[in-house]
Amino acid sequence: MDRYAVLGYPIGHSKSPIIHQQFAKQTKQALSYEAIEVKPEVFSATLEDFFHAGGKGVNCTVPLKELAFEKVAQLTERAQFSGAVNTIKLMDDGTLLGDNTDGVGLLTDLCVNLGLSLEGKRLLVLGAGGAARGILGPLLGAKPSALFLANRTASKAEAMEALFASVGHITPTSYEALSDHQFDLIINATSASLNDALPAINAGLLAANGVCYDLAYSEQPTAFVRWGLDEGARLSVDGRGMLVEQAAHAFKLWRGVMPDTAQVLESLK
Ligand code: NDP
């Protein structure tokens, strides 16, 4: 049976194994998919062991996406552009191909599943890690009127402005400097929710009729989803829709068939 896995730290919360097992059943593919806890310092060796033992592909999650970018021999255009890899496929010639399906996953959830239009909207992204790298290009491609990027470590947000300059304008900012602004959509791409914590955002940033989206997901509403509800968001949701959509694109890369995501998303609710 072909073997796949998701690598990350922490990984206990991951729903990727359930999702890929459902995709496999639905598309009649014989494969196994497991979650493996991998700290950054052993990522390289673990990845090599996995493929030497016959593995066919992996997903990489927090905090491994930028390390995964460094490990692969080939990159898809969107992975090359973002500097982060969330999907690795073993190619027929034995080399590793890195892709990034986070951006298409998020945009599909926002614009198709949730029916939002981002054109002309004011967007704020919190966090400038591996996940943010994957979503910034596609978000700019949706033609917002503004895209602000706040990060705890200012230099990382500033680096994104230059990295994505050919696609559109990113305004890097600190959390403190946000207080004069309002946004139609606030996306939490920090990993704070994994510790039930909130980035240092102030009240009053969400415009009337605004939407909050947390890339993280959990059984109970995340700290950021709760913040959005407290701020009067018309919609404040976690990233399980993105998770299913990005997984579908990874599955397509590995197996050549696109699974039906609606069925799987429904089963996760
Ligand atoms: P990384 O480790 O690469 O980056 C983490 C980011 O979070 C950094 O910008 C870091 O800031 C910031 N951060 C962490 N803790 C805090 C805090 N307490 N306050 C403010 N900022 C904080 O992680 P990823 O980018 O890979 O993942 C980010 C989140 O997105 C995770 O929760 C992950 O589960 C989720 N995710 C969900 C997906 C989905 O399909 N739904 C797909 C991909 C990711 P600094 O740079 O200052 O350290």
Atom of ligand 1 nearest to the CA of 61: 26
pLDDT value of residue 13: 84
CATH topology assigned to domain 103-241: Rossmann fold (3.40.50)
- The protein residue whose alpha carbon is closest to atom 13 in ligand 1 is 190
CATH 3.40.50.10860 domain range(s) in the chain: 2-101+243-260
Q: What's residue 137's pLDDT? A: 96
Q: Please give the CATH number for the structural domain made up of 2-101+243-260.
A: 3.40.50.10860
C-alpha 136/C-alpha 215 separation (Å) is: 13
Walk along the chain (269 residues) and give the pLDDT tens digit of each residue: 999 999 999 999 899 999 999 999 999 999 999 999 999 999 999 999 999 999 999 999 999 999 999 999 999 999 998 999 999 999 999 999 999 999 999 999 999 999 999 999 999 999 999 999 999 999 999 999 999 999 999 999 999 999 999 999 999 999 999 988 999 999 999 999 999 999 999 999 999 999 999 999 999 999 999 999 999 999 999 999 999 999 999 999 999 999 999 999 999 88
Residues 15, 65, 89, 121: which is the catalytic one? 65
Sign of CA dihedral 112, 113, 117, 119: negative
Strand-pairing partners, residue 245, are none
Joined together, the tokens standing for residue 8 give 């990350």
Position 184 scores a pLDDT of 98
Half-sphere exposure (Cβ direction) of 237: Cα atoms closer than 13 Å: 17
In this structure, the number of other CB atoms found within 10 A of the CB of residue 174 comes to 12
> How far apart are the C-alpha atoms of 50 and 43, rounded to whole Å?
10
Give residue 180's pLDDT.
87
Question: Where does CATH 3.40.50.720 sit in the chain?
Answer: 103-241
Q: At what angle do helices 240-255 and 16-27 cross, to 10 degrees?
A: 50
Active site residue 89: no
